[in-house]
Amino acid sequence: MIEDKNISKTELGSLGEFGLIDRLTQNFSLKNPSSILGVGDDAAILETPKDQQLVLSTDFLIEGIHFDLSYMPLKHLGYKAVSVNISDICAMNATPTQITVSLAVSNRFSLEALEELYSGIALACQAYKVDLVGGDTTSSTSGLVISISAVGMAKKEKICKRSGAQNNDLLVVSGDLGAAYLGLQVLEREKQVFKANPNAQPDLANYPYLLERQLRPQARLDVIGLLEELSVKPTSMIDISDGLASEVLHLSKHSGLGFSLYEDKIPLDPSTITTAEEFGINPITAALNGGEDYELLFTVPLEDHPKIKANPNLTVIGFASNKTLNSVLIDKSGENSIPLSAQGWNHFKS
Amino acid sequence: MIEDKNISKTELGSLGEFGLIDRLTQNFSLKNPSSILGVGDDAAILETPKDQQLVLSTDFLIEGIHFDLSYMPLKHLGYKAVSVNISDICAMNATPTQITVSLAVSNRFSLEALEELYSGIALACQAYKVDLVGGDTTSSTSGLVISISAVGMAKKEKICKRSGAQNNDLLVVSGDLGAAYLGLQVLEREKQVFKANPNAQPDLANYPYLLERQLRPQARLDVIGLLEELSVKPTSMIDISDGLASEVLHLSKHSGLGFSLYEDKIPLDPSTITTAEEFGINPITAALNGGEDYELLFTVPLEDHPKIKANPNLTVIGFASNKTLNSVLIDKSGENSIPLSAQGWNHFKS
């Protein structure tokens, strides 16, 4: 659990800003035809294919807020930072093509630590077939700050926004929910155990799926391909970064509709259910408010139901049920409608 | 000098992340036809006009590293953060079109402080005719971190890289150099005076140009227009963020050429010269190594000399003199060639 992040130490000051960028990006090459010029100039040059539009997203990951290096291996962090951004591109129903990565690092990081971070970024670039085309590297007065921008491209008529859902549309989610949040609970518990007794062996082997979901999430680029295959174009879409409840409310606000969700339809992995029990957490609460699942949430017209109903990657969890902004969770009895409220993580609440 | 940054205090925690983004961006509207969708979805949507390519750049500005809030008004900081990024787009000979702005802020900032920052960003968006189309807002464990990505567009054949300079090309710079660095010296001196005696009146009135250059630099979008007017397409171009010497060496490395610069041709404002004297600094050193001038440095073929020689905005300061990477400064006597070395600011040197 607690890895040695400073195997060998080359101080960053010995390289300088340009030496550092050159060193970290030396093994990256451009693979997409839309990447005309990559790292090393004042700006990258991109070419959008004819009839396509470009989508652009940006996200911060900040040490002490979004990640804790005491249990987040740097390589995984690099991978996750890219996934989080690629997930936004997927949420537009676009194909990710390029990223830029900017780092602010304090002097406590060695070159080798940053190379480890970049090895995870490189793996993610391979997995998502995107090119690293730019970035900025500077020092920070405290901790590590990662800022990634992601670019994707798609035909204009294929792009999905948060708005566009129609009344009676089905609400569909990919994969399962709540696992990343429970992975975080496991890691936090083991951190406390380790703090109390540094010789204690961390108890992580029993939670492989939950830890994978927390430490190395996958953006659902495969679902974008699947939708294309199934000839399904969502009427609205968003990725689940802050918890299902918060994202449903975003779709609701942007589309001007209220949704009804069925509690017993929310997809949960068996290990999410057992671990939630272990922690005394309702797994539905983990799904609604936990966040970091990076699954896709979207709406499709009722007539598309036959196309998706048998797919193991997709679950219909509700529908757009009214033209107000009132969304509800219908409990397992089917008798109680609980108003949905976003209890997603508010970074600014102390 | 020392302004009250907390005129009125609305705590960020009372708004939440989404409330904050909505509030800060509510007065921004999309003006460029290439901006299809702005802030508020998972990603912005852009459309590159036919036959054009897109350029993308990103830069960090970090409190305590790139700016000091004890003398940098937040409105100016917002303006400068945009200028720095637009300058990169100009350096590609492209027209800036969109920016995204991501902020990490600690709880010590109030909503009103961030609104002040965004008022500067809004002014810059107006000045450069760019649209704010996205961003991320999160908390930080310490200080303020700004990450901006800038997008520009240009016809493929118009775009300039750092590579492309040819032997005997003229080396040209816009505006004058060294002033921003001296502005910083003035501000640092007054900060020390203020620390020693908080009742002392800051002595800033005598340095309007230098302070403007440091606190509110302009990206030279006008020069991009001027080059178009003059039918000059630079063979290579870069913007001066780290000092003239560092940028000449970048053009040298990317183009595979050495440059000769004439010390007596380097453009200096009279106030740069007098203030450099006051501080016991060689103004040429301020120009070579000071940085933050955000002027454009470019090369043009010798035959373009008639087109630029009479222009008050442009100065020929040297030429590509050899096919090695050895660049020199020829001193005022014309007899001594001093090898050029980048002493630009190394963020990682402690």
pLDDT in tens, B164-211: 999 999 999 999 999 999 999 999 999 998 889 888 877 788 999 999
Q: Which residues of A touch B94 (CB under 8 A)?
A: 43
Contact pairs from chain A to chain B, CB under 8 Å:
223
List the one residue out of A240, A281, A308, A257 whose CA is nearest residue A90.
Answer: A240
Residues 266-295 of B with CB under 8 A from A: none
User: Which of residues B170 and B323 earns the better pLDDT score?
Assistant: B170
Residues 24-53 of B with CB under 8 A from A: 36-37, 40-48, 50, 53
Residues above pLDDT 90, as percent of chain B: 79
ipTM metric: 0.92
Residue B7 is predicted with a pLDDT of 52
Closest CA–CA distance from residue A263 to any residue of chain B (Å): 26
Q: Cα angle at B312 between B307 and B318, to 5 degrees?
A: 65
Task: Give the confidence band of B282 by pLDDT, cuts at 50, 70, 90.
Answer: very high
Q: What is the mean pLDDT of chain B?
A: 92
SS (H, E, C) chain B: CCCCCCCCCCEHHHCHHHHHHHHHHCCCCCCCCCEEECCCCCCEEECCCCCEEEEEEEEEEEECCCECCCCCCHHHHHHHHHHHHHHHHHCCCCEEEEEEEEEEECCCCEHHHHHHHHHHHHHHHHHHCCEEEECCEEECCCCCEEEEEEEEEEEHHHCCCCCCCCCCCEEEEECCCCHHHHHHHHHHHHHHHHHHCCCCCCCCCCCHHHHHHHHCCCCCHHHHHHHHHCCCCCCEEEECCCCHHHHHHHHHHHHCCEEEEEHHHCCCCHHHHHHHHHHCCCHHHHHHHCCCCCCEEEEECHHHHHHHCCCCCEEEEEEEEECCCCCEEECCCCCCEEECCCCCCCCCCC
Residue A212 is predicted with a pLDDT of 97
Assess whether pLDDT exceeds 80 at residue B74.
Answer: yes
> What is the pLDDT averaged over residues B50-61?
95
Closest CA–CA distance from residue B273 to any residue of chain A (Å): 29
The token duo for A120 is 């995870």
d(CA B67, CA B218): 17
Q: Which residues of B touch A60 (CB under 8 A)?
A: 102, 104, 136, 138, 145, 147
Closest CA–CA distance from residue B88 to any residue of chain A (Å): 5
Q: Which residues of A touch B253 (CB under 8 A)?
A: none
Residue B137 is predicted with a pLDDT of 87
Residues 76-105 of B with CB under 8 A from A: 88-89, 91-92, 94, 98, 100, 102, 104
Q: What's the Cα-to-Cα distance from A341 to each of A285, A326, A327, B53, B99, rounded to whole Å?
A: 11, 10, 8, 43, 32
Residue B267 is predicted with a pLDDT of 98
Test the A interface: residue of B133, B149, B224 with most A CBs within 10 Å:
B149
Q: Which residues of A touch B135 (CB under 8 A)?
A: 58
Tell me how crowded residue B333 is: count the other CB atoms within 10 A of its CB: 8
Assess whether pLDDT exceeds 60 at residue B347.
Answer: no
Q: Which residues of B touch A43 (CB under 8 A)?
A: 55-57, 88-89, 91-92, 94, 150, 152
List the one residue out of B56, B84, B32, B10 whose CA is nearest residue B295.
Answer: B84
Whether A258 contacts A125, CB under 8 Å: no
Q: Do A42 and B15 touch (CB under 8 A)?
A: no
Test the B interface: residue of A148, A250, A253, A347 with most B CBs within 10 Å:
A347
Extract the residue ranges of chain A whose pLDDT is less than 50.
Answer: 1-6, 344-350
Residue A21 is predicted with a pLDDT of 79
Q: Do A17 and B348 touch (CB under 8 A)?
A: yes
Of the candidates B12, B37, B57, the beta carbon closest to that of A348 is on B12
Residue A140 is predicted with a pLDDT of 87
Q: Which residues of A touch B58 (CB under 8 A)?
A: 100, 102, 134-136, 147, 149
Task: Give the confidence band of B344 by pLDDT, cuts at 50, 70, 90.
Answer: very low
Tell whether A133 is within 8 A of chain B (Cβ).
yes
Of the candidates A44, A50, A60, the beta carbon closest to that of B104 is on A60
Chain A residue with the nearest C-alpha to that of B20: A348
Residue B1 is predicted with a pLDDT of 46
DSSP 3-state of A213: helix
Chain A residue with the nearest C-alpha to that of B297: A42
**Lowest-pLDDT range of A192-206, B16-30, B227-241, B300-314:** B16-30
> What is the pLDDT averaged over residues B211-229?
97
Assess whether pLDDT exceeds 60 at residue B278.
Answer: yes
Q: Do B62 and A104 touch (CB under 8 A)?
A: yes
pLDDT tens, residue by residue, B148-162: 999 999 999 999 999
Of the candidates A12, A58, A159, the beta carbon closest to that of B100 is on A58
End-to-end CA distance of chain A, in Å?
28
Q: Do A55 and B48 touch (CB under 8 A)?
A: no
Residue A17 is predicted with a pLDDT of 63
Task: Give the confidence band of B16 by pLDDT, cuts at 50, 70, 90.
Answer: low
Q: Which residues of B touch A33 (CB under 8 A)?
A: none
Cα–chain center distance at B224: 15
Residues 189-228 of B with CB under 8 A from A: none
Rounded to two decimals, what is the model's pTM? 0.93
Closest CA–CA distance from residue A180 to any residue of chain B (Å): 20
Residue A57 is predicted with a pLDDT of 97
Closest CA–CA distance from residue A134 to any residue of chain B (Å): 7
Q: Which residues of B touch A46 (CB under 8 A)?
A: 53-56
Residue B141 is predicted with a pLDDT of 82
Tokens 């020092």, residue located: A139
Closest CA–CA distance from residue B45 to any residue of chain A (Å): 4
Residues 135-174 of A with CB under 8 A from B: 135-136, 138-143, 145, 147, 149-152, 156, 159, 161-163
Of the candidates B17, B43, B56, the beta carbon closest to that of A46 is on B56
Task: Give the confidence band of B5 by pLDDT, cuts at 50, 70, 90.
Answer: very low
Residue B12 is predicted with a pLDDT of 81
Chain A residue with the nearest C-alpha to that of B96: A43
Residue B168 is predicted with a pLDDT of 97
